[in-house]
């Protein structure tokens, strides 16, 4: 279903950054746990502000989750979505962690595909960026007490974006290693819950003001092992030739780009890869290359780590470049997709 029409301006592709540009349409589906099915088919409506009760559980308790995925235009003019089914499954898992009924994966994928179609003119040329989709699910039922909600909403909007970091950080990012956890063990760290990110804003900004690009958190229990940055998963190539990334647990989000990188490394490049606890001191002493993965970050090199009074310089990005070439080739439709990751719009 589609209601209304719109005609928002197209941005200047050459000055595109990772910031919001309103597009013509967004998607909305309402859910009610007392209905069968829980979720209605939804509608494509003009991009607009949403109305919500000030007593909604989202407003007081942050009962909401979100996703991020990209659509890319190929040199041949096709538009491709990257792993929308994986994002749909992760949003289900995140929603269940906050006691919300899961949004159907098939409906999630088809809604993303159709939304891109309706906003096709906002998909940048391949050399300038991509169309970023932001699905969200939240509790809209007015309630004063803390508990499960029966009334919910799923919204998806999109925006053309360029590089997450202004200028693209071609030399890599500087990270400040913090002896503190991003989230508590057993908490919502493995869910893409809205509140997880709100808490990271103040922390990251303190160090951005001192010249860093972001922070790297250690685990909450031992304050010793790598977990995540504010919004990406770290990988470290050790002197031994082994590529290591922290294992998934309650403190770490199961990144889609993280999983894609692991599969490319293992199955296409035949690399020695380990998912294990990685002490920061081992990175300082044995690390030769480091990068971080995420939908917004893609694969971004780390050029410098600062941990207490220790400064670790990482001057190579050869492996990251090789992995990124394969990943981008699949995303852009320039090479074979052996994993069935691509959905054509």
| Catalytic positions, written as ranges | 192
Instruction: Please name the helix (run of DSSP H) or strand (run of DSSP E) that holds residue 280, with its range, or none.
Output: helix 280-286
Beta strands 69-73 and 130-139, pairing class? antiparallel
- Joined together, the tokens standing for residue 206 give 């303190």
- Neighbour-count burial for 154-175, b at 16+ CB within 10 Å, e otherwise: bbbbbbbbbbbbeeebeebbbb
Beta strands 214-218 and 173-178, pairing class? parallel
User: Could you give the 3-state DSSP secondary structure of residue 306?
Assistant: strand
CB atoms within 10 A of CB 314: 20
- Joined together, the tokens standing for residue 126 give 């391949």
| Helix/strand number for the chain, H first, E second | 7, 17
37 cis-preceded (ω within 30 degrees of 0): yes
């Amino acid at each position: 279903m589609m209601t209304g029409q719109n005609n928002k301006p197209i941005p200047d592709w050459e000055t595109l950054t990772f910031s919001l540009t309103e597009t013509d349409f967004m998607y909305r589906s309402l859910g009610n746990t007392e209905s069968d099915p829980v979720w209605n088919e939804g509608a494509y409506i003009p991009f607009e502000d949403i109305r919500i009760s000030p007593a909604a559980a989202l407003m007081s308790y942050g009962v909401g989750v979100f996703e991020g995925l990209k659509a890319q235009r190929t040199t041949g003019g096709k538009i491709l979505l990257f792993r929308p089914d994986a994002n749909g499954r992760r949003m289900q898992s995140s929603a269940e962690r906050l006691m919300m009924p899961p949004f159907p994966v098939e409906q999630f994928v088809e809604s993303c595909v159709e939304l891109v179609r309706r906003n096709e003119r906002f998909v940048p040329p391949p050399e300038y960026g991509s169309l970023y989709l932001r699905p969200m699910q939240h509790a809209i039922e007015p309630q004063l007490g803390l508990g499960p909600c029966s009334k919910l909403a799923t919204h998806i909007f999109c925006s053309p974006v360029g590089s997450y970091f202004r200028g693209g950080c071609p030399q890599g990012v500087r990270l400040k290693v913090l002896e503190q956890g991003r989230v508590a063990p057993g908490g919502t760290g493995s869910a893409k819950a809205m509140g997880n990110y709100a808490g990271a804003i103040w922390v990251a900004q303190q160090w951005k003001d001192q010249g860093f690009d972001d922070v790297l958190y250690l685990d909450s229990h031992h304050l010793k092992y790598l977990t995540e940055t504010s919004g990406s998963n770290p990988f470290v190539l050790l002197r031994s030739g082994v590529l290591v990334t922290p294992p998934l647990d309650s403190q770490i989000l199961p990144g889609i780009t993280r999983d894609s990188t692991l599969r490319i490394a293992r199955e296409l490049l035949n690399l020695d890869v380990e998912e294990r606890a990685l002490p920061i001191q081992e990175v300082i002493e044995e690390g030769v290359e480091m990068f971080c993965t995420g939908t917004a970050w893609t694969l971004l090199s780390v050029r410098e780590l600062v941990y207490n009074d220790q400064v670790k310089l990482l001057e190579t990005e050869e492996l990251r470049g090789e992995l990124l070439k394969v990943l981008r080739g699949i995303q852009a439709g320039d090479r074979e997709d052996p994993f069935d990751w691509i959905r054509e719009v």
